[in-house]
Structure 1
């Protein structure tokens, strides 16, 4: 199977990754109770041996437990670290039960040191700002990340959920290698401004939730599998008043998948892959059979006519409900204050 997973260049600074990555969040957090550690380590090892070597985590997954899991998985077999491109993130912290977004230099450095310790690594391949701190000029945050690159603690810098202007300002301080954003058949707003900006600047694109948080795997019946602690229970698109409408999109995708003799999730993933060789989707899973099915999406070839058909059924108004509810405020497309406003404390 390894031969099926080609390699792509992500960004313009030299990072090369598997054309599909593995999102590891659901192994430890947000999609119900944490999964058994031994099963997840076996899945991570299976992914790497299958050629999916781009692993995605964050310090907030758990919090912390997902990074610890990945650290254990990489330590469990000698030589694994050299074959992996590991991405983690900083920027979201919980203080006294309250969510806080931080990008101040002291926090950036402390978060990086803590992630290195949990991951049992000397260097992080790709380090993202998970959400943009709207109180701190992006130049200040990037300045500290640049120092971490110079010190050899991180190799490449990424941003997540940043506005086009924030991406430009960040890239002027130090090259941004990748921007992570939600992109799928039911989240296409990034195509208007963010994707063109990344392409203009030579920044790679990492698509999270390319299966619509599992919607394109199971359709509306997915909600029946949500367990206690699964944050998808609260997402607007899965609420009854929106789900019935969104069912139509799944049914249309399912029809095309049947014609193509693939699963709807493979079709949805293939659509993301066909956006270009600068795009790497990172579907998450906790089951080896689902992982294998996701890798199968790399073999699904779509004609321009099929792409157009998919895009017509997944147009802007095709999906009802926002990506997140109000309490899970995402700092989507966030801007930061000008550098001239910053007074270092």
Structure 2
């Protein structure tokens, strides 16, 4: 099993593995998953030094937190960094309720209490709103998080999909460990204002979607059947001519990977990691074989020449279609 190095989230945040594990797909969004295999994958990730586990209370309507709790039984709590998002709400059929997101001060306390119970822990390492609500000042949300931090229920405060202005406003209230945002060769938006703001303030970035929901994995094809309840079926980048255009970009990346003796996904992950030691890519592996492939990215060093070739093959803005549907993009503070 490959082992990985470490990185520090922000100037005051926790030390975590150079890659983190995104647990969402083990319970939600990408169709059925095998629970025993998911737990074995968490164990393999921890054994490789991937100690950052990212989850949310709405992934599988609580199922994901319970799964993570099961996977961590018998492990020393201090050896794991658990990151939890809250705020999004679901219906009994698994669909998301319409916005606005509930990130009020009372929601912070209520949802935190439920997550602590499901995770069977006394504290959460990083707790963050999944999205902001324009009707609720970020100061209210972060102020409530700071209260819970001072009470010992959370160790660090994070944010997710937040734009530069609200990052500054949040940082004026409390110390922010990191901002979680989609960042990949096909999603370069954070480079314009968000990443420079984070670096100015000494805040880390945890990058999700580093394989663009699987598009950059090298395993997606034009005729691939999407599983029931796999939300990628509705994403613009996975449909029609957009998909064909995006897979042509992936072919170029694959040619570079072959020359390096690596896989397409390894090069895509390594590219994100190469953008700065203040960035921790989250890998959404649901199986041990996919995890092992992703871990190989930690051993891959991309030279300036290779990075230039990758940039030429997939320049910023090359992706066909948005990363979410338009109505969802308009709700993201990070896209404003």
Q: TM-score range by the shorter chain?
A: over 0.9
1:87 pairs with 2:55? no
- Contact 2:21–2:53, Cα closer than 8 Å, also in 1: yes
- Contact 1:108–1:144, Cα closer than 8 Å, also in 2: yes
Q: Distance in 2 between matches of 1:258 and 1:335?
A: 34
- Contact 1:132–1:335, Cα closer than 8 Å, also in 2: no
Q: CA deviation at 1:330?
A: 6.5
In structure 2, the residue matched to 1:48 is 46
- Contact 1:219–1:247, Cα closer than 8 Å, also in 2: no
- Contact 2:222–2:244, Cα closer than 8 Å, also in 1: no
In structure 1, the residue matched to 2:105 is 105
Q: CA deviation at 1:38?
A: 1.9
In structure 2, the residue matched to 1:151 is 151
Number of residue pairs aligned between Structure 1 and Structure 2 = 332
Change (3 A) 1:57 1:126: same
Which structure 2 residue ranges, 5 or more long, are not aligned?
none
Q: Distance in 1 between matches of 2:308 and 2:39?
A: 39
SS at match of 2:59: coil
Alignment of structure 1 residues 67-216 onto 2, 5 Å: 67-75=65-73, 77=74, 79-94=75-90, 98-100=97-99, 101-216=101-216
Change (3 A) 1:95 1:133: farther
Alignment of structure 1 residues 296-307 onto 2, 5 Å: 296-307=296-307
Q: Give the root-mean-square deviation of aligned CA atoms.
A: 1.7
Q: CA deviation at 1:247?
A: 1.9
Q: CA deviation at 1:225?
A: 4.2
Q: CA deviation at 1:335?
A: 9.5
Q: CA deviation at 1:327?
A: 5.0
In structure 2, the residue matched to 1:264 is 264
- Contact 2:254–2:263, Cα closer than 8 Å, also in 1: yes
Q: What's the TM-score, normalizing by structure 1? A: 0.92
Which structure 1 residue ranges, 5 or more long, are not aligned?
337-345
Q: CA deviation at 1:179?
A: 0.3
Q: Distance in 1 between matches of 2:230 and 2:196?
A: 33
Change (3 A) 1:239 1:47: same
